[in-house]
Chains A and B, each alone.
Chain A
Amino acid sequence: MTDTTMTLDQKTGQQAAAAPKEAEMPPAIRPATERDPLRARIEDFSFYYSNGFQAIKHVDMPILDRKITAIIGPSGCGKSTLLRSLNRMHDLYPGNRYEGKVILEPEGENLIGPDADPVLVRLRVGMVFQKPNPFPKSIYENVAAGLRVRGIKKRAVIDEAVESALRRAAIWDEVKDKLHGSAYDLSGGQQQRLCIARGLAPNPEILLLDEPTSALDPIATAKVEDLVQELSETVTIVIVTHNMQQASRISHRTAFMYLGEAIEFGETAQIFTNPRHPRTENYITGRYG
């Protein structure tokens, strides 16, 4: 906790010159607001699993609008836990507890507040999982699933949304002739891009990706990385990865987590070339993790 504050204060100390009312803003989000609009703010966020284990400890983190935010850190540090909090996935299992705030901008709505409905949150914040998990249905129905959930029934509307999502996920050309074939007949990489298309089809405000390439071969990985970069022009992306090259290649901001804390957050180039915290430096130079 103290580590976090210290690092973030150092950083803001460097970049504070242009900000007029910096003292009133929480230190963690200050560098972001100067240049980029925010899509969400994670504020003093903690998470407890049902067994009482505190997996996230007082994390502060800005999520920039239509940028890629990467979360890196050694395995077990709470990356997935944090990501899954953003669309209330933990609510599926009883006994889990959130503390603090996840504010969706510009409305200022607290996604984990007592009156935020998890189902409505998930309508706005989509998710792509570590292992491709297409539904046992056709390719078309997989992409249409999110629209059907929203009660959209018009064939023409769904047709159009399916095509556009598949195009945005850069898989249209590969599947356009077998839209009604099973999603299970696709390769792992294609399945993952299909899952991205499925997440995109209902036009979420934020798309969460939890190590989306860890089950893929290098070529499929490259395709998904290109895709994520292209998508960031239109949708806000938070991606968890244990692959540091991937984070440095594709993300705009990087957060380094360690044992449930956000140790350092900043521009990706800065985190990788000039980390301010010794733990970050140890991690990115491969001294542990």
Chain B
Amino acid sequence: MKLTHTQAIQTALCLLALAQAGLSHADAQAGAVIAKNGTAGIAACMQCHGGNDVGNAAAGFPRLAGQNVDYLAKQLADFKAKLRTSPLMGPIASALSPTQMKDVADYYASLPGWKPAPGTPPGSALSVRGAQLAQHGNWDKGMPACFACHGVNGAGIAPHFPAIAGQGAVYIANQLKNWQTGARLTDPQGLMKAVADKLSADDISAVSAYLERPTNPAAGATP
């Protein structure tokens, strides 16, 4: 077969493009299929993580929509590596290939993130204490503000620090307790364990309640 000059160039470009796409593995559309329909032997993610991909707060199934892509992919790999244990999520993550992990992570990261709902913010004592911890920390125990690492208003700082604002309170509380007991070992440098160890049971209730529906702190007044 003889290739003309232009055909040769086209073929080369085509191969290059395919190689790039192949290298990245990230494929939001393939991820969407897994999320909505599942795949051989794997349940649809939506079943637990919610029809609108915003989780199931009451059941403690986390919201994945809008979370940063590297964080999501790393968590799936961490479940598989048993750095995080969950009877529900563990087996599912273990069944995913690295490519599938990247694809679903890419899909969920591409969805809109959490936005504060309009309306009167909760002003309960619990939420006020939670806001204090999230925005200012508890330096008596050497604990920085949650938002120092999780970004302004808890929106996350990619790639290492996930968004925590708008995440379900039950799920957040579970994670903080998992760090305290050593059931979750995913955090780089043990940074999150050091924080969780400085939280009392009451602090955990307060900060989880606040983070499920945080208010916007006065503009500029928080670091």
Indicate whether A and B interact. no
Residues of chain A at the chain B interface (Cβ within 8 Å): none
- Seen from chain B, the residues whose Cβ lies within 8 Å of a Cβ on chain A are none
